[in-house]
């Protein structure tokens, strides 16, 4: 409903926005306003409120691209009004998505001929890609079980406990049990030996991560493939592998081309990658590619007759923007293999500078590995007085957005900070960040310990709430107290299980 501008507005229109009544009244939060407002006033008040958001370039919590070349920004704006799903109307856009799928499939060594079309689709991000890949595995497994006359109502997926939350979403939404290999202190990725032990006849696939969200570390897909092949031979189950290469898919092929993690391994049937992470496109694009046509059950593909033509689709949503797909194709042809390689080398080099700067302080243990996604995850050597959560909080003062989080089971007593090094995070920013961290360490050292206060609170709460009935005195180990303090902190910081992405 649009109601025309009130008569009194015409006088207001001749004033500067800041001399008008629009900056004096609170903006509506629940109901649409009865009257219109001038476009420049609407722009100004929204733009001003958005100033309170963080600066995306300083948001080191996110893998997602925050800078693209102005020429690509122009292409994005020129296609902002194109609905991707209108394939008949925008055939060139559809063709660009197909070219991107082919390029990615070749990058991941899919067994397709030079001029053969690969099997895959553009998605909103890796989460949608993972839902689609998971559905394909579930349906294939169900079909096989039905044909064998066996029950098909208890599918499961084996993953590490370090999987990103989208796997939990997939499991819950599509009724698949998630069997997680627990982590241990010092080993923060899925152990292939334990994963294969957990595989049973109801396992639809094992999901390995190329670039753990928590530490950037690559899981050993080759070892997983070898162990699973052996188990498949012994059992006849034929359990396949999916690789969640959300971040690593656009790093490993350029930096470690000999690392075997992709379709070179026979059990790898599908791979997802986020175009909007190291694919170097703004938020809103991901990809999933299947090894062959046979790995994507035909009954999942919808053939819709839309506006006059047959369109095969396999996505969860219908309408979406075209810009990100066009931007992905721009990056592929603009940068080429050489350009991606140089950018990834720079990211790894800047991550090294940051890592060495942090090591020099003598205060941190580096948890991330050099071979992996360019990020630095680090924990405090001594968190008996101050925690990584306090450091994250203090760094916000300088504008840095750096997440602090605890590891998943069974390493939840380890709390880390994580800095993702993206294309637009250069060496001088890395050096500045180190000096700000040093400053924050100095300042927190001079403050009274909040851990001690919280620990005494935790113990006091424990004694009054849980244990006073028994009139027992409770003595807690420092690790127990640390775990409780960490939990206590998590009530104050965003309680995201895997930090930001």
Ligand X SMILES: Cc1ncc(COP(=O)(O)O)c(C=O)c1O
Tell me how far apart the alpha carbons of residues 126 and 275 are, in angstroms, rounded to a whole number.
8
Q: What is the DSSP pairing of strand 156-160 with strand 177-181? A: parallel
| Closer by beta carbon to ligand X, 213 or else 379 | 213
**What minimum distance in Å lies between the beta carbon of 332 and ligand X?**
18
Which candidate, 265, 346, 291, places its Cα nearest to that of 67? 346
Q: Tokens 């696939």 belong to which residue?
A: 205
Tell me how far apart the alpha carbons of residues 307 and 284 are, in angstroms, rounded to a whole number.
25
- Residue 489: which H helix or E strand, with range? helix 478-490
**What minimum distance in Å lies between the beta carbon of 128 and ligand X?**
7
Tell me how far apart the alpha carbons of residues 358 and 431 are, in angstroms, rounded to a whole number.
10
**What minimum distance in Å lies between the beta carbon of 426 and ligand X?**
22
**What minimum distance in Å lies between the beta carbon of 127 and ligand X?**
3
| Closer by beta carbon to ligand X, 243 or else 380 | 243
**What minimum distance in Å lies between the beta carbon of 288 and ligand X?**
11
Which candidate, 328, 320, 326, 318, places its Cα nearest to that of 84? 320
For 134-172, the three-class secondary structure string (H helix, E strand, C coil) is HHHHHHHHHHHHHHCCCCCCCCEEEEECCCCHHHHHHHH
> Euclidean distance between the first and final Cα of the chain, in Å?
37
When computed from its CA atoms, the radius of gyration of the chain, rounded to whole angstroms, is: 26
**Do 391 and 441 contact (CB within 8 A), yes or no?**
yes
| Closer by beta carbon to ligand X, 85 or else 133 | 133
| Closer by beta carbon to ligand X, 22 or else 314 | 314
Which residues make Cβ contacts (< 8 Å) with residue 379, sequence separation at least 6?
Answer: 364, 365, 367, 388, 414, 415, 416, 417
| Closer by beta carbon to ligand X, 189 or else 267 | 189
Which candidate, 149, 224, 139, places its Cα nearest to that of 181? 224
Query: Interior CA angle at 416 toward 414 and 417, to 5°?
Result: 175
Neighbours of 223 (CB within 10 A): 15
Which residues make Cβ contacts (< 8 Å) with residue 154, sequence separation at least 6?
Answer: 177, 202
**What minimum distance in Å lies between the beta carbon of 284 and ligand X?**
9
| Closer by beta carbon to ligand X, 130 or else 353 | 130
Q: Which two tokens stand for residue 32?
A: 């649409």
| Closer by beta carbon to ligand X, 204 or else 420 | 420
**What minimum distance in Å lies between the beta carbon of 367 and ligand X?**
16
| Closer by beta carbon to ligand X, 209 or else 227 | 209
For 235-288, the three-class secondary structure string (H helix, E strand, C coil) is HCCCCCEEEECCCHHHCHHHHCCCCCCCCCCCCEEEEEEECCCCCCCCCCCEEE
- Site residues, ligand X (CB under 6 A): 63, 125-127, 164, 166, 209, 211, 213, 244, 246-247, 274, 286, 501
**What minimum distance in Å lies between the beta carbon of 125 and ligand X?**
3
Residue at shortest CB range from ligand X: 501
Q: What is the DSSP pairing of strand 309-313 with strand 364-366? A: unpaired
| Closer by beta carbon to ligand X, 60 or else 209 | 209
**What minimum distance in Å lies between the beta carbon of 165 and ligand X?**
8
| Closer by beta carbon to ligand X, 209 or else 437 | 209
**What minimum distance in Å lies between the beta carbon of 420 and ligand X?**
9
Tally of CA atoms within 13 A in the half-sphere of 343 that contains its CB? 24
Q: Where are the alpha helices (DSSP H) in 15-125?
A: 39-50, 70-78, 91-107
| Closer by beta carbon to ligand X, 22 or else 137 | 137
Tell me how far apart the alpha carbons of residues 208 and 195 are, in angstroms, rounded to a whole number.
10
**What minimum distance in Å lies between the beta carbon of 166 and ligand X?**
5
**What minimum distance in Å lies between the beta carbon of 213 and ligand X?**
4
| Closer by beta carbon to ligand X, 108 or else 488 | 108
Q: Which two tokens stand for residue 125?
A: 């991000």
């Amino acid at each position: 409903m649009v109601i025309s501008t009130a008569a009194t507005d015409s006088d207001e229109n001749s004033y500067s926005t800041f001399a008008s009544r629009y900056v004096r009244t609170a903006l509506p939060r629940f109901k649409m306003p009865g009257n219109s407002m001038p476009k420049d006033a609407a722009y100004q008040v929204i733009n001003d409120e958005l100033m309170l958001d963080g600066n995306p370039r300083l948001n080191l919590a996110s893998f997602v691209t925050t800078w693209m070349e102005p020429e690509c920004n122009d292409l994005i704006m020129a296609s902002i009004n194109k609905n991707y799903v209108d394939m008949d109307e925008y055939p060139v856009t559809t063709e660009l998505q197909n070219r991107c799928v082919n390029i990615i499939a070749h990058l991941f060594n899919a067994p397709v001929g030079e001029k053969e079309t690969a099997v895959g689709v553009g998605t909103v991000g890796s989460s949608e890609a993972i839902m689609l890949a998971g559905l394909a595995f579930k349906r294939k497994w169900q079909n096989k079980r039905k044909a064998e006359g066996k029950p098909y109502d208890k599918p499961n997926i084996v993953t590490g406990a370090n999987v990103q939350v989208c796997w939990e979403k997939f499991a819950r939404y599509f009724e698949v049990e998630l069997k997680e290999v627990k982590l241990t202190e010092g080993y923060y990725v899925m152990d292939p030996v334990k994963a294969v032990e957990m595989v049973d006849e109801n396992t639809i696939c094992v999901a390995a991560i190329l670039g753990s969200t928590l530490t950037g570390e690559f899981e050993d897909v080759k070892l997983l493939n070898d162990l699973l092949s052996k188990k498949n031979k012994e059992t006849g189950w034929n359990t396949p592998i999916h690789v969640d290469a959300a971040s690593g898919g656009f790093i490993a092929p350029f930096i470690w081309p000999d690392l075997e993690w992709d379709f070179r391994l026979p059990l790898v049937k599908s791979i997802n990658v986020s175009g909007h992470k190291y694919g170097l496109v703004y938020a809103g694009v991901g990809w999933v590619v299947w090894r062959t046509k046979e790995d994507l059950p035909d009954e999942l593909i919808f053939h819709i007759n839309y506006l006059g033509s047959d369109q095969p689709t396999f996505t969860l949503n219908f309408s979406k923007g075209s810009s990100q797909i066009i931007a992905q194709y721009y990056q592929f042809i603009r940068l080429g293999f050489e350009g991606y390689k140089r950018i990834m080398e720079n990211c790894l080099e800047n991550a090294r500078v940051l890592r060495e700067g942090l090591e020099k302080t003598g205060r941190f243990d580096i948890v991330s590995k050099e071979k992996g996604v360019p990020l630095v995850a680090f924990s405090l050597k001594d968190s008996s007085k101050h925690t990584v959560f306090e450091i994250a909080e203090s760094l916000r003062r300088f504008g840095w957005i750096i997440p602090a989080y605890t590891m998943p089971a069974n390493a939840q007593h380890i709390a880390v900070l994580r800095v993702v090094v993206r294309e637009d995070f250069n060496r001088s920013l890395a050096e500045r960040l180190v000096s700000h961290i040093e400053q924050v360490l100095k300042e927190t050292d001079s403050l009274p310990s909040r851990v001690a206060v919280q620990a005494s609170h935790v113990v006091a709460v424990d004694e009054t709430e849980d244990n006073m009935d028994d009139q027992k005195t409770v003595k807690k180990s420092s690790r127990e107290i640390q775990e409780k303090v960490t939990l206590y902190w998590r009530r104050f910081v965003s309680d995201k299980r895997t930090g930001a992405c």
